[in-house]
Amino acid sequence: MRDRLNVSLPVEMIARINELATQKRLTRSAIVEAAVASFLSPDGADRMEAAFTRRLDRLTRQVQRLERNSGLTTEALALFVRFWLTVTPPLPPEAQASAQVKGRERYEGFIEALGRRLNQGRTLLDEIPRDMLRSERADENGADSRE
């Protein structure tokens, strides 16, 4: 369905519309309709802005995840260091040499295990939610059996 709309335009603009209609072999109404449709539709700058906005939103979420993961990593390391310092007694001087050798062996084993985990794509951050869910289920099952 079409509806009629009467508009007043400057004489120069009507002359340009007439010229274009003759060149393109279109009606003046088709040219004016295309111009109005172009004016009403989002232009390239708007589309570009929308794309940038989506990209910035995605980057913001990625940075927030990095901040959360970094904070979690820092807290886990601090908790481990605090625990280790609390439960590990100091060694007498005569035991330090053998402890250093054993420490190097254990460190090499740690690095190998870490390399295997990373090659398999497993990370601590992926395991934490699974471990917590398992722990919650165990707590629920234990609570059920005690009642």
Calpha distance 38→77 (Å, rounded): 58
DSSP 93: G
pTM over 0.85: no
Residue 147 pLDDT: 45
In angstroms, how far is CA 3 from the centroid of its own chain?
A: 48
- Dihedral sign from CA coordinates of 61, 65, 68, 70: negative
pLDDT given at position 125: 75
Q: What is the distance between the alpha carbons of residues 112 and 117, in angstroms, rounded to a whole number?
A: 9
Q: What is the residue extent of each domain of the chain?
A: 11-41, 43-80, 99-147
pLDDT along the chain (147 residues), means of 10: 90 95 94 87 79 94 94 91 91 92 94 89 79 81 57
Specify the pLDDT at position 21.
Answer: 95
Question: E-strand spans in 13-139?
Answer: none
